[in-house]
Amino acid sequence: MSVSSPAQLELPALRHYLLDLFCDVAYQEGDFLLSSGQRSSYYINGKQVTLHPQGGLAVGRVLLSLLPPETQAVAGLTLGADPLVTATSVVAAYEGRSITPLIVRKEAKGHGTQAYIEGPTLTAGSPVVVLEDVVTTGQSALKAVERLRQAGYTVTAIVALVDRQQGGADLYRQQNLPFQAVFSIQDLQTRWRQLHS
């Protein structure tokens, strides 16, 4: 693992740092049951990276670099996206940009405003990018997209840290939602094998 701080690294080196961190703390091989109900020979625990002190900073910097310039907010389904939207918003503030973090609940709040979306209210039509740590079938991000649209926002893209390439990208394409991932599952597996051979 590189000793340089993710605060100082240029973007290409930062991506490499992040890839190594995923391989070091988040990627495992074995027999796993995924939230989608599918079984898998590997598992990626994105929170091990997004809640890592240097990982959170690296994630915020990399994701910010992928946002369209008109983006006013980043949002995602709780709990996986919470550290992503927070890190991206904080990094943006350090760079003089104002990107509002929004957290989309799975169920409406049972008290108070009974809101699905937590965070400052933006004007109708505000451009929002949905963030996701690991995309499998794509359903989690799509649920966030639906809630944001119901609230009057315009979802301009979905950006993920890792695409498992198990249908998510196709689902977003069918919905006319631009999608990009920082890493594919092949990126992780190739690097993991280099580090563990």
Instruction: Give the domains, in start order, of the chain with CATH numbers.
Output: 52-184 (3.40.50.2020)
Length of the chain measured in residues: 197
Cis amide prior to 67 (ω within 30 degrees): no
pLDDT in 10s for each residue of the chain, 197 residues: 445 789 999 999 999 999 999 999 999 999 999 877 888 999 999 999 999 999 999 999 999 999 999 999 999 999 999 999 999 999 999 999 999 999 999 887 665 566 899 999 999 999 999 999 999 999 999 999 999 999 999 999 999 999 999 999 999 999 999 999 999 999 999 999 999 98
Alpha-carbon span 5 to 156, nearest angstrom: 31
pTM of the shown model:
0.94
Alpha-carbon span 101 to 73, nearest angstrom: 6
Alpha-carbon span 88 to 79, nearest angstrom: 15
